[in-house]
Amino acid sequence: MSTKIQGANILITGASTGIGRATALVLAQKGAHVTAAARDETRLRELAAEQSGITPMRADVTNDQDRAALVAAAGDVDVLINNAGLGYHGLVETMPPEKVRELIELNVLALIDLTQRVLPGMLARKRGHIVNVGSIAGYVGVPAEAVYSATKYAVQGFNDGLRRELRGRGINVSLIAPGPIKTEFVAREKTGGPAAEAGAMDRGLPVGTVSRAIVRALTRRLPGYRTITVPRIGGWSRVGSVPGMAQLTDLSTRRRVRQALEDQAQQGL
């Protein structure tokens, strides 16, 4: 069952930059009313000024009161796009406990809580669509990003279980699993703040490849569009999870571990 975008009331988190920003723009251009949520109020205002149909709302989705206020302000949500997320680059033995909790709170708990808050209304109306933005790290654990990978495995498991719970009840559930995308992910992962220029520290596909995948997930009727890896070529994002492939992927990741150890040595950790 496809979702009509024109006229839909869409709530998207992490909308001030990267994938969230690109998705808010494309959905508003297609006639949706988009509530764009993020912590960066300045960037949200710039986004709303760029395209009609976007209502900016500052919200920290790790805060329970902010989540409640966000859902209340959004009204009857037809589509929830759980996009907000955070990474961390570093080895587990030196990862501060507060960073572990931060990743789990933002990447997993906030996503589940927002879903729980919009579901009763969707079920009452017997229509709705929930899109969770995961990662290829939800299929293959990434060294020096082990906790981040754990959160994305959790998103994948939650998404699959929820989809089966809601089957036949009028609610669609989709997972988008991007690979390397040119956003500000690496900058925020390493420095805690945005890059001086969007995408300056990242390599990968443009954010439009993911926003277009989200549109396909909303509008395509085919079962194969419940989960979309980006890029979609042969579903290569899942190859590392195939039995016997782990040994090969391990060879390609040793460099990341060596680099992380060198980074720790330079920081005196």
d(CA 71, CA 128): 14
Tokens 């981040």 correspond to 148
The set of long-range contacts for 161-164, using a CB threshold of 8 Å and a minimum separation of 24, is 162/115, 162/130, 163/226
Homologous superfamily assigned to 9-238: NAD(P)-binding Rossmann-like Domain (3.40.50.720)
pLDDT for position 234: 45
148 catalytic, yes or no? yes
Q: What is the dihedral of CA 58, 64, 67, 68, to 10 degrees?
A: -120
pLDDT for position 2: 75
Cβ atoms of residues 100 and 147 within 8 Å: yes
Q: Which two tokens stand for residue 138?
A: 């939800």
- Angle, CA of 78, 79 and 82, to the nearest 5°: 150
- In a 13 Å sphere around the CA of 146, the CA atoms on its Cβ side amount to 10
Q: pTM of the entire structure?
A: 0.85
Listed in sequence order, the residues at least 6 apart from 141 whose beta carbon sits closer than 8 Å to its beta carbon are 149, 150, 153
Q: Which two tokens stand for residue 105?
A: 């709170």
d(CA 87, CA 144): 10
- Selected catalytic residue, list 88, 139, 148, 153: 148
- The tens place of each residue's pLDDT in the chain, 269 residues long, gives 678 999 999 999 999 999 999 999 999 999 999 999 999 999 999 999 999 999 999 999 999 999 999 999 999 999 999 999 999 988 999 999 999 999 999 999 999 999 999 999 999 999 999 999 999 888 888 888 999 999 999 999 999 999 999 999 999 999 999 988 876 655 555 555 555 555 454 567 888 999 999 999 999 876 655 677 776 554 554 554 554 545 545 555 555 556 656 665 666 65
Taking the chain, what is the end-to-end CA distance rounded to the nearest angstrom? Answer: 52
Fill in the amino acid letter for 19.
I
Cβ atoms of residues 153 and 101 within 8 Å: no
Fill in the amino acid letter for 221.
R
Cβ atoms of residues 36 and 16 within 8 Å: yes
